[in-house]
């Protein structure tokens, strides 16, 4: 399994994952224009979001997208006496149910945390589902009020 930053080549796979996310939650939804709608959204959001895709397989057998996650970068408005900083909102995390408990979600989240450290974000914030909260708590997030969890990405610990 590999995790990498997604690019335009990944649009069909990311749209497929989003469809599968909906199917796993509410069943199949007929929407012939979804791929075009997803691509338009991607183009608008790309300047402020970083997307990751997790792939299973190999070069020889072919790679298949099995999960994705993105982080929206938010810039704080500066104020007198305080520097403007940035923080990230983790969104749209999804791993195919057939790949649950294989480390895919942890690898995607690790990529987002590494990104936050590299970009010197003040914090990462997310609004988990009730079933995903324990996962994020195990990975260093703490309650931040109103169903939100927060992670403060300090310097990376020595490995």
Q: Where are the domains of the chain?
A: 2-151
Model pLDDT for residues 93-141, shown as the tens digit of each residue: 999 999 998 999 999 999 999 999 999 999 999 999 998 999 999 999 9
Contact 52, 69 (CB under 8 A): yes
* Percent residues over pLDDT 90 in the chain: 74
Model pLDDT for residues 20-79, shown as the tens digit of each residue: 999 988 999 999 999 999 999 999 999 999 999 999 988 888 899 999 999 999 998 888
- 25 φ, ψ (degrees, to nearest 5): -95, -45
User: Rounded to whole angstroms, how far apart are CA atoms 14 and 63?
Assistant: 13
User: Rounded to whole angstroms, how far apart are CA atoms 151 and 54?
Assistant: 22
The pTM score is 0.89
Say how many CA atoms lie within 13 Å of 9 toward its Cβ: 7
For 2-151, give the CATH class.
Answer: alpha beta
Which pLDDT band holds residue 155 (cuts at 50, 70, 90)? low
Handedness of CA 114, 49, 119, 142 (dihedral sign): negative
Model pLDDT for residues 94-103, shown as the tens digit of each residue: 999 999 989 9
Task: Tell me what the pLDDT averaged over the chain comes to.
Answer: 92
Handedness of CA 54, 68, 23, 29 (dihedral sign): negative
The strand pairing partners of 51, in sequence order, are 70
Taking alpha carbons only, the member of 95, 6, 87, 3 closest to residue 45 is: 6
> Which two tokens mark 87?
């923080």
> Which two tokens mark 132?
């995903």
> Which two tokens mark 143?
């309650």
The strand pairing partners of 150, in sequence order, are 125, 142
């Amino acid at each position: 399994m590999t995790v990498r930053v997604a690019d335009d080549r990944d649009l069909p796979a990311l749209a497929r994952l989003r469809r599968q996310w909906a199917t796993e939650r509410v069943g199949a939804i007929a929407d012939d224009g979804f791929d075009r709608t997803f691509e338009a959204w991607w183009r608008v959001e790309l300047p402020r979001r970083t997307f990751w895709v997790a792939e299973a397989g190999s070069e020889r057998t072919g790679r298949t997208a099995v999960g994705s996650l993105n982080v929206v970068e938010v810039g704080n408005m500066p104020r007198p006496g305080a520097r403007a900083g940035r923080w990230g909102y983790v969104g749209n995390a999804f791993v195919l149910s057939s790949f649950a408990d294989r480390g895919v979600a942890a690898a995607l989240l690790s990529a987002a945390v590494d990104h936050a450290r590299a970009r010197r974000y003040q914090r990462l914030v997310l609004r988990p589902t009730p079933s995903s909260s324990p996962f994020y708590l195990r990975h260093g997030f703490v309650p931040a009020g109103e169903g939100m969890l927060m992670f403060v990405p300090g310097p990376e610990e020595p490995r």
